[in-house]
Chains A and B, each alone.
Chain A
Amino acid sequence: MEWEIYKEKVLIKEVTVENGKIKLISEKTDRGVGVRVISDGRVGFASGSDEKRVMEKALEISKISEESLSSFAFPEKIKKVKTFDKRVNQIDESDLKDFGEILAQDNVASAQFSVEIVEREISNSNGIDLRECESYISVMVEAIYDKGSAYEFQDARRLFDPEPFVERALELAKIDSKAEKLESGFYTVTLSPIAINQLLSNTLYPAFYYENIKRGRSRINEIKELSKVSLIDNPLIDFGLNSCSFDDEGVASRKTVLVEKGVVKGYLSDLKGEKSTGNGFRDGYDSYPSTAPTNIVIEFEEKGEPEGIYIHSFIGSHTSNYVSGDFSVEIMNAVHDGKGIKGAMIYGNIYEFLNKISHIGREKRQVGFTLTPEIVFENVRIL
């Protein structure tokens, strides 16, 4: 029998603001273990708090499994990337109160600021024994101004000042309070990094997962050209939001070029695929590893300024069809000539939509899986 033990210990400290006032301070701890086994070629998994019991349960369930895996990860050279900001160790309830005061402003409907420390450990019967400590700092602000609303957020590995994000949410809500209907038609639009991440995470990234390609759930192999865009998955950026030295299966992290100047070059895979690219990640200790990107860096040759309608975010991007690439999303907090826009929709297919890129901005921001500047698209139909 082969085995793999994944342990996680999490500490989250958070302050919550509601209607402009600090409302709650919380501290949550959680620890647990997930065990995967390969017995007679069959894979089983169980999770819980008691390692011995979890191992027994994993073995028991492997008997009915047809999930196969040739082996767990083997030890290899690990390149250490920076993932932890030591300053988070010192944050206590009175610091949280101070952060809360930054968020507790008039017109802030709700807001949270949190610091999180995650310790993950992975060992297996091939001799892997790895441990990494990670920090996450997050702010989320929802602002309401009259009939206008907006949200802004930021997640990072390093401690940062949340104030600019509060200001931005308030500014967008104010613009939204005077928003007007836009006439349907074709426009030049600029998508913010938030909007880009929402769109690409739900339409494009899953198409690069080896498992989706293998099962015929991806169109990526039939796509000849993806504009002139480059997409690189890079987990080795110091303090990158999803950076790590190794994935949740213990495979060393590496850079993967997915698209180079419009030409599809690679895919993402966990150990189940033919060759792992170090992209096996878990939602927590209680879940199987599955394929996910880390930090997808977007590059494009032509650089310039935002133009046309500036779109901050979308509503409903998670309803997109990742198999076909079709999407239809409602625009939230868009600005056209200094005026807010409401009740507008964009629909299309991501593989055609990417051909509308005219240029990208100069300053990158990471949102979710995506590290990108703003992207300007031409000739986009808005309904």
Chain B
Amino acid sequence: MYYEIREIKSRSLQINLEDGKVEKPKYSEFEGKSFRVLKNGFWGYFVGDVNDEDGIKKAERLAIIEGDADVDEKPFSGKLFYKEKKPFDEVDVEDKIKILREIDYYLKENVISRKIVYIETVKEVTIRNSSGGEVTFRVPRCGVIMQAFAKGKTLQFYSDRILKVGGLEVIEKAHEKASEVSEIAVKLSNADAPPSGIMNVVMNPSLTGVFIHEAFGHGVEADHVLQNATVLKDMRGKKVAADCVNVYDDPTIPEFGFFPFDDEGYKAERKVIIEGGYLRNFLNTRETAKKLGGVAGNARAENLAVPIVRMSNTFIDSGDYTLEELLSDAEVILFGSRGGETNPATGYFHFNAQFGYIVEKGEMTKMIRDVSLSGHTLEILKDIKLGKEIEFNPGFCGKAGQIVPVADGGPFALVKALVGGS
């Protein structure tokens, strides 16, 4: 019998500055324990406020069937407390609000409504297992989400966010981004509806990041492979992208998806997903790694939910093209993401950009709004061209009802895809 005990202690502070007013300030604390038992190849899982012995017994009682599950039991030991530069409890809440007011000063230009959401969380996790592993880690995360609403020809909103692992140093330069947010919202309210059809599209780094996360990342999650639910299931070792394409998942980079150990207590490390256009690895939990022959370390859970295969900081590495070179072949350029969704089983993905421009003879001309991009995982990477510098953007990724912090990265990239608009 294999078992794991996971204990979480977390606290968080959220403050909204909405149209200049401090609204819905909230302080939360959470403590809890989960117990997971693998017996006769079947999982029992119990969450509740009980001692270790009772917890394991309760989980064991739920493992009433025989199954074929097995795990890589490798134990890890260690403590890792992420060292932030400016810890949350060394700054008064009044001073945190001052930072938000400064951001608001730049955000309020010419907009009809605006909102800043400030988030700080500190999460401490201890995971012990039956093979003798015991890890403890503490990760602080901080950031602001800025939103501006503007009215011109249409009513529009634009938002941007800075979210990272760390303390208050994360938002030190947030005010520099705030003017850009209000400017874009105002311009967007007078922008036109986009054209539609299959086009050459340049994606900005944040859109390229979402794209690699949605169109590819979900397809290499090994639980999807075992469920026959990804078009990439038989593609390991095969060419799936142009030679220039290299894709990684790296939880050790200090971005929003950072973690030193995963939620099964397995040591985090960089995973090569695509190298030179060849699919190299899937992302694994202890169970999928054992079944498919890979390395575990990508099991994550929202609080005390069952850990499942998740991404961390996923990125497509840089290429050789300048932005000018990419634009010379493009019909539109799209910026930012309002979110996306993919069906790994079929390979169809869809996401919405926040805004874009028509490109004529290599020049950005008319601004466009409410534009979406869709295509197929196995086709779109075949003739992608990549820019020279990568940038990470934070986000919250949902899967099986669980939300975890992630970051996606990439350079400017040229692809052929279906652009939606009227």
Binds B, one of A185-193, A302-310, A339-347, A369-377: A339-347
Q: Is A269 in contact with chain B by the CB < 8 A criterion?
A: no
A383 lies within 8 A of B306 (CB) = no
B43 lies within 8 A of A30 (CB) = no
Q: A64-B93, A324-B155 are known contacts. Are A318 and B421 too (CB-CB below 8 A)?
A: no
Bound-state CA distance A19–B69 (Å) is 12
Binds A, one of B132-140, B243-251, B335-343: B335-343
Binds B, one of A232-240, A292-300, A326-334: A326-334
A272-316: contact bitstring with B at CB < 8 Å (1 yes, 0 no)? 000000000000001110000000000000000000000000011
Of B13, B93, B149, B374, the contact of A345 (CB 8 Å cutoff) = B374
Q: Is B363 in contact with chain A by the CB < 8 A criterion?
A: no
Write out the residue numbers on chain A whose beta carbons fall within 8 Å of the beta carbon of B48.
27-29
Q: Is B1 in contact with chain A by the CB < 8 A criterion?
A: no
Q: Is B80 in contact with chain A by the CB < 8 A criterion?
A: no
Instruction: Tally the A-B contacts, defined by beta carbons under 8 Å.
Output: 226
Distance (Å) between the CB of A210 and the closest chain B CB?
14
B351 lies within 8 A of A316 (CB) = yes
B24 lies within 8 A of A67 (CB) = yes
Of B32, B44, B97, the contact of A25 (CB 8 Å cutoff) = B44
Distance (Å) between the CB of B297 and the closest chain A CB?
20
Binds B, one of A77-85, A143-151, A244-252: A143-151
Of A43, A49, A219, the contact of B29 (CB 8 Å cutoff) = A49
Bound-state CA distance A329–B112 (Å) is 28
Of A28, A44, A176, the contact of B346 (CB 8 Å cutoff) = A176
Bound-state CA distance A176–B345 (Å) is 11
A28 lies within 8 A of B23 (CB) = no
Choose among B43, B231, B306, B352 the residue with the greatest number of A CB atoms under 10 Å from its CB: B352
Binds A, one of B58-66, B165-173, B255-263, B318-326: B58-66
Closest to B26 in A: A45
Q: A30-B47, A64-B93, A323-B149 are known contacts. Are A383 and B420 too (CB-CB below 8 A)?
A: yes
Q: Is A216 in contact with chain B by the CB < 8 A criterion?
A: yes
Q: How many residues of B contact A (CB 8 A)?
A: 77
Distance (Å) between the CB of A227 and the closest chain B CB?
19
B370 lies within 8 A of A326 (CB) = yes
Bound-state CA distance A64–B420 (Å) is 45
Of A23, A30, A320, A324, the contact of B67 (CB 8 Å cutoff) = A23
Q: A345-B374, A383-B196 are known contacts. Are A22 and B67 too (CB-CB below 8 A)?
A: yes
A30 lies within 8 A of B32 (CB) = yes
Q: A22-B65, A144-B227 are known contacts. Are A216 and B351 too (CB-CB below 8 A)?
A: no
A2-33: contact bitstring with B at CB < 8 Å (1 yes, 0 no)? 00000000000000101101111111111010
Write out the residue numbers on chain B whose beta carbons fall within 8 Å of the beta carbon of A330.
341, 348, 350, 374
Write out the residue numbers on chain A whose beta carbons fall within 8 Å of the beta carbon of B226.
18-19
Choose among B97, B197, B421, B422 the residue with the greatest number of A CB atoms under 10 Å from its CB: B422
A319 lies within 8 A of B338 (CB) = yes
Q: A23-B69, A24-B306, A93-B62 are known contacts. Are A319 and B93 too (CB-CB below 8 A)?
A: no
Interface residues of B in 348-373 (CB under 8 A from A): 348-352, 369-372
B420 lies within 8 A of A345 (CB) = yes
Q: A286-B30, A319-B352 are known contacts. Are A215 and B113 too (CB-CB below 8 A)?
A: yes
Bound-state CA distance A321–B376 (Å) is 24
Q: Is B28 in contact with chain A by the CB < 8 A criterion?
A: yes
Interface residues of B in 32-53 (CB under 8 A from A): 32, 42-49
Q: Is A357 in contact with chain B by the CB < 8 A criterion?
A: no
Distance (Å) between the CB of A91 and the closest chain B CB?
13
Q: How many residues of A contact B (CB 8 A)?
A: 70
A149 lies within 8 A of B229 (CB) = yes
Bound-state CA distance A176–B58 (Å) is 41
Bound-state CA distance A26–B304 (Å) is 12
Bound-state CA distance A149–B157 (Å) is 34
A316 lies within 8 A of B341 (CB) = yes
B81-102: contact bitstring with A at CB < 8 Å (1 yes, 0 no)? 0000000000001100100000
Bound-state CA distance A332–B231 (Å) is 16
Q: Is A65 in contact with chain B by the CB < 8 A criterion?
A: yes
Write out the residue numbers on chain B whose beta carbons fall within 8 Å of the beta carbon of A19.
226-228
Write out the residue numbers on chain B whose beta carbons fall within 8 Å of the beta carbon of A318.
339, 341
B372 lies within 8 A of A316 (CB) = yes
Write out the residue numbers on chain A whose beta carbons fall within 8 Å of the beta carbon of B374.
316, 330, 343, 345
A48 lies within 8 A of B29 (CB) = yes
A328 lies within 8 A of B420 (CB) = yes
A25 lies within 8 A of B338 (CB) = no
B47 lies within 8 A of A144 (CB) = no
B141-168: contact bitstring with A at CB < 8 Å (1 yes, 0 no)? 0000000010100111100000000000
Q: Is A265 in contact with chain B by the CB < 8 A criterion?
A: no
B25 lies within 8 A of A45 (CB) = yes
B113 lies within 8 A of A328 (CB) = no
B43 lies within 8 A of A48 (CB) = no
Q: Is A66 in contact with chain B by the CB < 8 A criterion?
A: yes
B155 lies within 8 A of A66 (CB) = no
Closest to B352 in A: A319
B372 lies within 8 A of A343 (CB) = no
Write out the residue numbers on chain A whose beta carbons fall within 8 Å of the beta carbon of B62.
25-27, 93
Q: Is B418 in contact with chain A by the CB < 8 A criterion?
A: yes
Q: Is A109 in contact with chain B by the CB < 8 A criterion?
A: yes
A203-242: contact bitstring with B at CB < 8 Å (1 yes, 0 no)? 0000000000001110100000000000000000000000
User: 13 A-B residue contacts at CB 8 Å?
Assistant: A26-B46, A29-B48, A48-B29, A62-B25, A65-B23, A144-B228, A324-B154, A324-B155, A328-B372, A343-B348, A345-B418, A347-B420, A383-B197
Chain A: residues with CB nearer than 8 A to chain B?
Answer: 16, 18-19, 21-30, 32, 43-49, 53-54, 57-58, 60-62, 64-67, 93-94, 97, 100, 109-110, 142, 144, 147-149, 176, 215-217, 219, 286-288, 315-316, 318-321, 323-324, 326, 328-330, 332, 342-343, 345, 347-348, 383
Q: A315-B342, A323-B157 are in contact. List 7 more A-B contacts (CB 8 A).
A: A44-B25, A61-B25, A64-B15, A142-B227, A149-B343, A343-B418, A345-B420
| Nearest 3 A/B pairs, CB to CB | A149-B345, A319-B352, A26-B45
